Amino acid sequence: MESMLHITTLHYLVLGAALFLLGVIGVLTRRNVVIVLMSIELILNAVNLNLVAFSRMWGGLHGQVFAIFVITDAAAEAAVGLGILIAFFRNKETVNIDEVNLLKW
């Protein structure tokens, strides 16, 4: 109980790991590309949470700076991913990821 009430870095890490897992499950099991992309965002956020938690632990700011870079990266990823999605939707009129099989004839 004592350890439950005293929030340490480990708590944040467990939370991050749980989010990461949720993201992984989403990426691996869902068909809808939009939801897959959102799951990727979940994964990136889990990483960010870890970075910031470690930054807090060591009292430095490198983790936070890295979190900002990761957010930048997420923005780029979302933009390109959604662009691809729209191009794909325009051609095949579907948003299901297992129908992206143009290379697998």
Partner 1 sequence: MAPVATPFFFYLLSGIMLIGGILVITRKNPVHSALALIVTLLAQASIYLMLYAPFVAGVQIILYAGGIMVLFLFVIMLVSIDRSMRERQFNSQWIPGIIAATALGGLFMAVFTKGNDIFPEHALPMVENDNTQQIAMKLYGQYMFAFEIASLLLLVAIIGAVVMAKKRI
Partner 2 sequence: MTDQHSSLSNLDLETPEKPFLDANELVINMGPQHPATHGVLRVILRLDGEKVLGLECVIGYLHRGVEKIGEHRTYTMFNPYVDRMDYVAAVSNGLGYCETVEKLLNVEAPPRAQHVRVILTELNRIASHQLWLGTHALDIGAITPLFYTFRDREEILKIYEKYCGARLTTHAFRIGGLQYETYTGFEKEVKNFLDFFRPKIDEYEELLTTNRIWVERTKNVGTISAQDCIALGVTGPVLRASGVKWDLRKAQPYANYKNFDFEIPIGQNGDTYDRYLVRMAEMRQSVRIIEQAVGALPEGPIMAKVPKVMKPAAGEVYHSIEAPKGELGYFIVSDGSTQPYRVRVRPPSFVNLQALDVMCRGQLVADVIAVIGTLDIVLGEVDR
> Site residues (CB under 8 A) for partner 2?
86, 89-90, 93
Instruction: Note the Cα 55 to chain centre separation in Å.
Output: 19
Token pair listed for 72: 């930048």
Residue 70 Cβ, how far from partner 1 at the closest point, in Å?
10
Nearer to partner 2, 90 or 104 (CB): 90
- Residue of 28, 101, 103, 105 interacting with partner 1 (CB under 8 A): 28
- Which is nearest to 32 in space by CA: 76, 77, 82, 73? 82
29-58 positions binding partner 1, by CB under 8 A: 29-32, 34-35, 37-39, 41-42, 45, 48-49, 52-53, 55-58
Between CA 44 and CA 52 the distance in angstroms is 12
Distance (Å, rounded) from C-alpha 25 to C-alpha 36?
9
Contact call for residue 92 and partner 1 (CB under 8 A): no
